[in-house]
Amino acid sequence: MDATAFKIYSLMVVKNEADVITASLQDACRWSDKIIVIDNGSTDGTWEKVQALSKTHPQIIPWLRYEGPFHIGLRAKAFKAFRHEMTHRDWWNVRLDADEFYPGDVRAFLSKVPHRYRTVKKESTDFVLTQEDISHHTFTGDFEQDRTLITHSLPVQRQERRFMRHSALLCWSERWRYPHPWGRVNPTCIPVQHYQYRSPQQMEQRFLTRQQAKADGCGSFKHEQGRTWQDYVPTEQQLRQQHLLAHLKEAFNASDQVLYQGRNTLKLIGENIVVKSFHTPRFPNNLIYGLWRKSKARRSYEYAQRLGDLTPAPLAYSEHIQHGVLGESYYACLLSDLPLTWRQVVRDPHFPHREQLAQAVGRLMAQLHERGCYPLDFSGGNILLDENGQRAQLVDINRMRWYRTIPLRLGGRQTERLHLSDEDCRHVAKAYAQARQMDEQTCYQLIRKYHIPDTH
């Protein structure tokens, strides 16, 4: 018996997909026995193209023209209407999108799925346009002509349920995105090429269509937060950065630009990305971090978001957890443009602009404390400065304590690892007191009390 002798029914909901619908339906006809199409009020000729194609491709069924607001139950209607034609050998493609193309032999793939698995996920390569694409190429708005110009893709391949074996037990409420029960999921995904962004014309129309759907109460597009369609067009550099950040471990291991080597390691990736590899914790800490506590990489990322411009801009973090045990973890941020550290300054008693630099340290302290942040690694090597003392940033931020308010008594202890001279103490205290509207002499006395003196 032919292993591929089963039916595949594909359920498609379309709206304003005229640029791609012909190519998509023709591709799906290679492996679908029926493509049941619901049009959700297209105004660009999509429905007319579906009807025209159905005359030459009997697999295409222009089943319903629905003018109301989009809702997730539309495919459930088609499932209920055609389920009587299916047997236990057959498959549903519970969601065939008009912008998806399956490059391989779908029937051969499904024929090799063991019967104990009831569901197959797709793994999509999501293609995008870049600003350079739009600047350098002329897009016609016809997908078949423009397809060769669409060459960039997002770094992460998304997985989502697509194919389900038919069963008499399947039930699909119009409130559900998929039928239930979907059973065990095949461990291997089926690849698909996803062209959600195809031309400037299409992107603008897509944005307007989804904005209207959101206004009509559809909850399916809440994740799309762009204010215009241009917000979804990255530069090639941004896209390369996304690819890099999606594979932090591999990028870190491939780099030979070591900035610091110790218990933790810092490397420069590309021109302006710093990746920190944290020391792998031993038992029981690896279990504690894997199950209960946030890793140092994650804390660095979350704290950086709270600190804003007081630390280099955070980009991503990556954790490798297996069986509840934390292994490697990485934190990535932009390379700071501040060239100095306070450690460099304090080692040279004649360092240029030392007074201004000490005041920058005091202001940084005050800004951190005003935000309720008390860093536990506030040391000279972790404070970055510009050459004139106008700006300062803090790095190595995974150990913080957060308070509703930080009193002066606690704030004065912050300098205990800075090795200040008496003059440095005065300058730090002056800037700190001004920023927090406190008494300068009291600040100076507390800083003098708690800091470790400069021995250089």
Q: Which range has highest mean pLDDT (199-213, 308-322, 376-390, 405-419)?
A: 376-390
- Strand (E) or helix (H) holding 133: helix 131-136
Q: What is the mean pLDDT of residues 224-250?
A: 82
Give the pLDDT score at 243: 85
Answer with the residue of higher pLDDT: 340 or 249.
340
Residue 225 pLDDT > 90? no
- Please tell me the least confidently modeled range out of 24-38, 298-312, 440-454: 440-454
Residue 222: band (very low, low, confident or very high) from pLDDT cuts 50, 70, 90: low
Q: Residue 452's pLDDT is what?
A: 66
Share of the chain above pLDDT 70, in %: 96
Mean pLDDT value of segment 202-231 = 72
Q: What angle do CA 276, 279, 283 make, to 5 degrees?
A: 150
Cα–Cα dist 446/441, whole Å: 9
Whether the pLDDT of residue 221 is over 70: the answer is no
Which band of pLDDT confidence, cut at 50, 70 and 90, is reported for residue 207? confident
Band of the pLDDT at 11, cuts 50, 70, 90? very high
Spatial separation of the C-alpha atoms in residues 272 and 126, rounded to whole Å: 26
Extract the runs of DSSP E, i.e. beta strands, from 41-85.
60-65
Tokens (6 digits) for 302: 């979350």
92 pLDDT exceeds 60? Answer: yes
**How many alpha carbons lie under 13 Å from residue 374 in its C-beta half-sphere?**
16
Predicted confidence (pLDDT) at residue 84 exceeds the cutoff of 90: yes
Closest CA to 433 of 444, 423, 424: 444
Provide mean pLDDT across the span 277-288: 80
- Predicted confidence at residue 218, as pLDDT, reads 60
Residue 224 — very low, low, confident or very high, per pLDDT cuts 50/70/90? low
Residue 220: the pLDDT is 55
Q: What is the pLDDT of residue 70?
A: 83
**Closest Cα to residue 385, out of 445, 439, 436, 428?**
428
Mean pLDDT across 419-439: 93
Q: Quote the tokens at residue 177.
A: 């995105």
312: pLDDT confidence band, cut at 50, 70 and 90?
very high
pLDDT of 397 > 90? The answer is yes
> Mean pLDDT over all residues of the chain?
91
Q: Which residues contact 36 (CB under 8 A, 6 or more apart)?
A: 9, 10, 11, 12, 61, 63, 78, 81, 82
Q: How confident is the model at residue 242 (pLDDT cuts 50, 70, 90)?
A: confident
pTM of the complete model: 0.69
Q: Of 80-89, 387-396, 416-425, where does mean pLDDT reach its minimum? A: 416-425
Q: Is the pLDDT of residue 31 over 80?
A: yes
Predicted confidence band at 287 (pLDDT cuts at 50, 70, 90)?
A: confident
- Per-residue pLDDT averaged across 241-267, rounded? 88
pLDDT band at 341 (very low <50, low <70, confident <90, very high): very high
Measure the CA–CA gap between 456 and 454, rounded to whole angstroms.
Answer: 6
Output the pLDDT for position 199.
93
Q: How confident is the model at residue 2 (pLDDT cuts 50, 70, 90)?
A: confident
pLDDT of the residue at 219: 53
If you average pLDDT over residues 319-324, what whole number do you get?
Answer: 83
Asked if residues 35 and 64 have their Cβ atoms less than 8 Å apart, the reply is no
141 versus 227: which is more confidently predicted? 141
pLDDT at 281: 75
Of the candidates 23, 31, 22, the one whose C-alpha atom is nearest the C-alpha of residue 50 is: 22
- How many other β-carbons are positioned within 10 Å of the β-carbon of residue 439? 12
| More reliable by pLDDT, 250 or 101 | 101
C-beta of residue 412 within 8 angstroms of C-beta of residue 339: no
User: For the residues 393-410, what does the mean pLDDT come to?
Assistant: 94
Check residue 321 and give its pLDDT.
79
Report all structural domains of the chain as residue ranges with CATH numbers, in order of start: 8-232 (3.90.550), 247-334 (3.30.200), 340-450 (1.10.510.10)
